[in-house]
């Protein structure tokens, strides 16, 4: 009986923690880093102040928890995307497409706000950077392996993978500011062409093709 009570209590705690972290992520997406205060998260979650403080005594603890929560969401997204790759897919094209999808959506927006906050918040920086490195290492490995499905022994693949992540990240940030998704799609297509040119399987004249 005691064990069952303990399990029930742990489940309630886990649910409440998830509720608070969901509220923190929504706040980061909608109100930004500066607007994500403990009071704002408490109101979004609809809980008493003591409840929030029990799980996250300080704003730094709350944001550190949000870092892990968002990272877990992005790890899960990457795993789901790989499981959903259809048979016969052009792996090279899919690698560029997948990179763009990983740099879209609420979890990326929340992470972006934490990038901004971590620049001047040492506690957030300490919590955020190791997880972000781990995420980008996983993304790099996953995207690289997609390229290698078509070019298994090419030593240029790791560098091209790095370029893909950096270029697509820059494009994702630009779209956030301009909303120019059409231009972003053209750049994505042209970078796919550029990858094939760099790997020696496409005519350089195709660089500006829009597909």
* Residue 193 within any structural domain of the chain: yes
Contact 99, 143 (CB under 8 A): yes
What's the domain count of the chain?
1
- Domain membership of residue 38 (yes or no) is no
* Host domain of residue 109: 64-208
The residue whose two tokens read 């009570």 is 5
pLDDT tens for the chain, 211 residues long, are 466 656 688 888 999 999 999 999 999 999 999 999 999 999 999 999 999 999 999 888 898 888 888 878 877 877 787 777 777 778 888 888 888 888 877 888 888 888 888 888 888 888 888 888 888 888 888 888 888 888 888 999 999 999 999 998 888 888 888 877 888 788 888 888 899 899 888 888 888 876 5
Is 26 domain-assigned? no
Say if residues 59 and 117 touch (Cβ distance below 8 Å).
Answer: no
* Residue 117 resides in a domain: yes
Helices (H), the chain: 2-35, 38-45, 49-55, 59-83, 91-102, 106-118, 122-150, 157-178, 181-198
What is the pTM (predicted TM-score) of this model? 0.76
Calculate the alpha carbon distances from 95 to 70, 81, 135, 149 in Å.
22, 11, 16, 10
158 domain residue, yes or no: yes
Measured from the Cβ of residue 115, the count of other Cβ atoms closer than 10 Å reads 16
Among 56, 133, 162, smallest CA distance to 125 is for 133
């Amino acid at each position: 009986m005691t064990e069952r009570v303990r399990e029930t209590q742990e489940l309630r705690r886990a649910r409440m923690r998830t509720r608070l972290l969901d509220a923190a992520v929504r706040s980061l997406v909608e109100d930004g880093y500066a607007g994500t205060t403990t009071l704002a998260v408490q109101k979004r979650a609809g809980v008493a102040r003591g409840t929030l403080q029990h799980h996250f005594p300080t704003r730094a603890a709350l944001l550190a928890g949000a870092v892990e929560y968002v990272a877990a969401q992005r790890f899960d997204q990457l795993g789901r995307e790989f499981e959903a790759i259809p048979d016969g897919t052009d792996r090279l094209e899919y690698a560029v497409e997948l990179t763009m999808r990983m740099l879209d959506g609420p979890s990326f927006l929340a992470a972006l706000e934490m990038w901004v906050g971590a620049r001047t918040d040492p506690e957030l920086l300490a919590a955020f950077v190791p997880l972000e490195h781990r995420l980008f290492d996983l993304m790099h490995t996953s995207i690289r392996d997609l390229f290698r499905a078509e070019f298994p022994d090419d030593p240029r693949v790791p560098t091209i993978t790095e370029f893909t992540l950096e270029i697509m990240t820059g494009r994702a940030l630009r779209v956030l500011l301009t909303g120019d998704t059409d231009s972003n799609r053209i750049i994505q297509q042209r970078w796919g062409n550029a990858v094939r040119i760099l790997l020696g399987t496409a005519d350089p004249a195709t660089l500006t093709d829009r597909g």
